[in-house]
Amino acid sequence: LGLTLRLVSFAGGFGRVEGDDTVVPMGRDLVEYLETGQAVEGEAATRASLDLLAPVPRPGKVVCIGYNYRDHAVESEVAVPEEPILFAKFANSVVGPGAPIVVPSETNEPDYEAELAVVIGRVARRVREEDALEYVAGYTCANDVSARDLQLRVSQWTRGKAIDTFLPLGPWLVTRDEIPDPHALAIGCALNGKTMQSSNTEQMVFGVAELVSFLSRTMTLQPGDVIATGTPPGVGFMRKPPVYLQNGDEVTIEIERVGALTNPVQRAG
Ligand code: ZN
């Protein structure tokens, strides 16, 4: 798109953020905009007056990468992977900034994971690593919320990962031009204001271009698809004693140059 933008989706449309609090509407569908580059400007509104959603509220695919930080692999006492480890989340997990993470009664071990999320901007099929960043629309913050008990008592992680509301994304999509090097960003998670994760995307085992190229060799990536690129150390279940999300907690994922994504935690009633 060739422009530096912070794009938000809200109920009924999407737009760009100007300054701290102004949103200029640009049309109905952010993903359609990524595909066509066509926008129709509307009347500016305050962010607070809009019902903000995840930048991509219904991604076609959410591909998550396991053990993709060297420092997290060390913490977890697993070997640094030789090729990317994939698992999936689905659109049912996606919520926007400020929306509650609703924890079902089936888990007692809900945990946070700060992640840099990549949003695909163009159809990518068998792209070369050196071209791969051209297929990236931009970046946003993700919280790959995980129910550790459900995740780890079986070999397939889907049940513990693909839970409703367990993938906050936001607060906006920062276009790629704003972030020339996605592997030089401070990334962290704060729980009720206390720092729990603090690392840098330089610790990634497989970088953004490598992941896009790798994935595109066996699955066609579509505009609006999301890649959650893995989490650094400090996750709750590795701590001694473990720390799990509680009703009333507030979790913030913050990534340098991208933004901060805050969500409250709610036990399902
Ligand atoms: Zn993760």
> Could you tell me the distance, in angstroms and rounded to a whole number, from the CA of residue 161 to the centre of ligand 1?
9
Q: Which of 2-6, 20-24, 170-174, 248-252 has the lowest mean pLDDT?
A: 2-6
Rounded distance between C-alpha atoms, residue 222 and residue 120, angstroms:
6
Residues 209, 216 contacting (CB under 8 angstroms): no
What is the rounded distance in angstroms from the CA atom of residue 205 to the CA atom of residue 184? 13
% of the chain beyond a pLDDT of 90: 93
Residue 109 Cα, ligand 1 centroid: separation in angstroms? 15
Gap from CA of 67 to ligand 1 centroid (Å):
8
pLDDT at 3 over 70: no
Please determine, for residue 1, whether its predicted confidence score (pLDDT) is greater than 80: no
pLDDT in tens, 206-217: 999 999 999 999
Q: pLDDT tens for residues 36-92?
A: 999 999 999 999 999 999 999 999 999 999 999 999 888 888 899 999 999 999 999
Q: What distance in angstroms lies between residue 18's CA and the mean position of ligand 1's atoms?
A: 31
Residue-averaged pLDDT of the chain: 96
Q: What is the mean pLDDT of residues 18-31?
A: 95
Distance 173 CA to ligand 1 centre (A): 19
CA–centroid distance, 242 to ligand 1, in Å, is 17
DSSP assignment letter at 205: S
- The Å distance, Cα 195 to ligand 1 centre, comes to 18
What was the pLDDT predicted at 72?
87
Q: First and final CA of the chain: distance in angstroms?
A: 44
How many angstroms separate the alpha carbon of residue 33 from the centre of ligand 1?
Answer: 28
* C-alpha of residue 20 to centroid of ligand 1, in Å: 29
Q: Cα(58) to centroid of ligand 1, in Å?
A: 19
DSSP E strands, 70-225: 85-89, 94-95, 101-103, 110-111, 114-120, 136-143, 146-147, 167-175, 186-191, 194-200
pLDDT at 219 over 60: yes
113 CA → ligand 1 middle, Å: 6
Q: Output the pLDDT for position 75.
A: 84
Q: Is the pLDDT of residue 154 over 80?
A: yes
How far does residue 177's CA lie from ligand 1's centre (Å)?
A: 25
Task: Grade residue 188 by pLDDT with cuts at 50, 70 and 90.
Answer: very high
How does residue 2 score in pLDDT terms, banded at 50, 70 and 90? very low
- Does residue 118 surpass a pLDDT of 90? yes
* Helix spans in the chain (H): 30-36, 70-75, 148-152, 158-161, 208-216
- Residue 36 CA to ligand 1 center (angstroms) comes to 31
Distance 250 CA to ligand 1 centre (A): 18
- Look at residue 227 and tell me whether its pLDDT is greater than 90: yes
Distance 251 CA to ligand 1 centre (A): 15
Amino acid identity of residue 202, one-letter, is: E
Q: Is the pLDDT of residue 6 over 60?
A: yes
Task: Give residue 42 CA to ligand 1 midpoint distance, Å.
Answer: 37
